[in-house]
Amino acid sequence: MTTSSELVYSTSVCPVSRQQLIELMKKSLSEKRFNHILRVEEMALKLAEQTGESLEKASIAALVHDYAKERPDSEMIQLIKSGNFDQELIQYGNAIWHGILGAELIESELGITDSAIKSAVRLHTTGAKEMSLLDKIIYVADYIELGRVFPIVEEARKLAFADLDQAVAFETYHVLLYLMERNLKIYPKTVETYNQWVAKK
Amino acid sequence: MTTSSELVYSTSVCPVSRQQLIELMKKSLSEKRFNHILRVEEMALKLAEQTGESLEKASIAALVHDYAKERPDSEMIQLIKSGNFDQELIQYGNAIWHGILGAELIESELGITDSAIKSAVRLHTTGAKEMSLLDKIIYVADYIELGRVFPIVEEARKLAFADLDQAVAFETYHVLLYLMERNLKIYPKTVETYNQWVAKK
C-alpha cells in the first residue's frame, strides 16, 4: 500500500504539496480537528486503495473536508447571503454549512478547483441522492476514522470494506436516528440520501 | 357535548347532510375503513369541542379524510400527471397521495370547497410546517382514534387532550421512527413537519 507521505499531488489538482496542505490545515484548525482529518485521510486512502479511486484525490478531499468547520457562524451566514446558495440554509447550523460552504472555500482560498474533490467536501455531512465513489469514500471515512468510538462504529467499519454502498446506507440511517433521538433539525438533503440509499425501492 | 347525529351541516360548507355524507362514504369505502372514519369523527369532535373548533368542519373533514385511500394507484397517478401537482409525488405511494389528492377529490366529486376542510384532508398524513387548528385535530384524531392499538397510543391520546401541539410533535416523531424502522421512504413534507414541531429551535 502507498503510504500517504509518498503521495505526490499534481499541481492541476492541488496547487500545493501534501506537506504544504497539511501545514495549511494545521494553521487553520484546532489540534483535535487536525488530528481528525489525518485519521480521515488514513481511512479514505484505505477505501480508495480497495475501490480503485485516485489516492491523490482521496487524500486531498480528506485533508480539506473540514476546512470550514471552525469558522464563526457570522462569517458563514455572510457567505450564504452573498453567494449563490439556497437561503433556507441559514435556518441550519455549521454542522450543515461547513461542507456546502467548505467546497467553495477550498477553491477560493486554497485554489482547489477539482470538481470531484469539491463535491466530496460539499456532500460529506449530508450525502446525496447521487454520490460518486469519492463522495462515498469521504462520507464514510469521516464516520469510521479510527478516533470514532460510538457503539456501532465497528459494524460500520466492517461494512465499509465489505460493501461501500451498504456503509453509506448504514451511516445515513444511524445519522438520521441520532438527529431524531436528540430532537435536532434534519436537513432535507439527508432525507433524500435516506430515500435513495436506505429506503426500499 | 353535542352528539354527532345532531350536527347540521350548512349547505355552504357541505352540499349534503351528515347522514347523506355517511351514506356516500359507506358506498366509497371498505367496511373496515368506513368504521375507521366514524371513529376519527368521534375523536375529532371531542378535540374540536375542547379547543373551540367548528364541530361541523371537524365532522366533515374527519368523514372525508380517507375518501381517496382506496382508489387504484393507476387512477391516482393519472390525477397527479394531469393536475397541478409536484411530479415528484409519483415516486411515493397512496399512503402519501390519498391526502393530497383526496383534498381535490372531495371538491370535484363531493362539492366540498371549504378551504379549511380541504387543508385538513391534504395534510392529514404528513402534517406541515404551518397547521391550522382543524389541520391538527384531523392529523391527531386519525392517529389516536379508539380503534388504534399500537403501544404508545394511550400516551398520544393523553397528550392530545393535554396539549394538541405536543400531540402533533409526538405523532410526527413516532411516524418518522416507524418509517425508518421499516426502511420506508420518507416524504420530505414529513421532515418539514418534524423540523417545525419536534426539533429544538
Q: Is the pLDDT of residue A3 over 90?
A: no
Beta-carbon separation of B199 and A184 below 8 A: yes
Q: Is the pLDDT of residue A109 over 90?
A: yes
Contacts of A32 (CB under 8 A, 6+ apart): none
pTM greater than the 0.90 cutoff: yes
- Note the pLDDT tens digit of each residue in B52-108: 999 999 999 999 999 999 999 999 999 999 989 999 999 999 999 999 999 999 999
CA–centroid distance for A41 within its chain: 10
**Phi then psi dihedrals of residue B161, to 5 deg:** -90, -10
Angle between helices B94-108 and B73-82 (to 10 degrees): 70
Strand (E) or helix (H) holding B23 = helix B18-28
Beta-carbon separation of A191 and B191 below 8 A: yes
Q: What is the pLDDT of residue B155?
A: 97
Beta-carbon separation of A191 and B195 below 8 A: no
CA distance A199 to A87: 28
- Note the pLDDT tens digit of each residue in B8-65: 999 999 999 999 999 999 999 999 999 999 999 999 999 999 999 999 999 999 999 9
Q: Is the pLDDT of residue B2 over 70?
A: no
Of B12, B108, B128, B126, the residue nearest B64 (C-alpha): B108
Q: Which residues of A touch B186 (CB under 8 A)?
A: 191, 194-195, 199
CA distance A71 to A94: 8
**What value does the mean pLDDT take over residues A56-81?**
97
Q: Which residues of A touch B191 (CB under 8 A)?
A: 186, 188, 191
Q: Which residues of A touch B180 (CB under 8 A)?
A: 173, 176-177, 180, 194, 198
Q: Is the pLDDT of residue A47 over 70?
A: yes
CA distance B116 to chain A (A): 27
Mean of per-residue pLDDT scores for chain B? 96
Of B2, B25, B40, the residue nearest B146 (C-alpha): B40
In this complex, which of A176, A183, A184 lies closest to B180 when CB atoms are compared? A176
Q: How far is CA A69 from CA A5, A100, B30, in A?
A: 25, 11, 55
Q: How confident is the model at residue B174 (pLDDT cuts 50, 70, 90)?
A: very high
Beta-carbon separation of A176 and B173 below 8 A: no
The answer, for A195 touching chain B at a CB cutoff of 8 Å, is yes
Q: Is the pLDDT of residue B1 over 70?
A: no
What was the ipTM of the complex prediction?
0.90
In this complex, which of A176, A183, A188 lies closest to B200 when CB atoms are compared? A183
Q: What is the pLDDT of residue B121?
A: 98
Q: Which residues of B touch A185 (CB under 8 A)?
A: 195, 199-200
Contacts of A64 (CB under 8 A, 6+ apart): A21, A25, A37, A102, A106, A110, A112, A117, A121
Beta-carbon separation of B186 and A184 below 8 A: no
**What value does the mean pLDDT take over residues A23-41?**
98
Q: What is the CA radius of gyration of chain A?
A: 16
Q: Is the pLDDT of residue B3 over 80?
A: no
Q: Which residues of B touch A177 (CB under 8 A)?
A: 180
Mean of per-residue pLDDT scores for chain A? 96
Is there a contact between B21 and B9 (Cβ–Cβ < 8 Å)? yes
The type of residue at A135 is D
CA distance B192 to B130: 9
CA distance B53 to A76: 44
**What value does the mean pLDDT take over residues A13-32?**
96
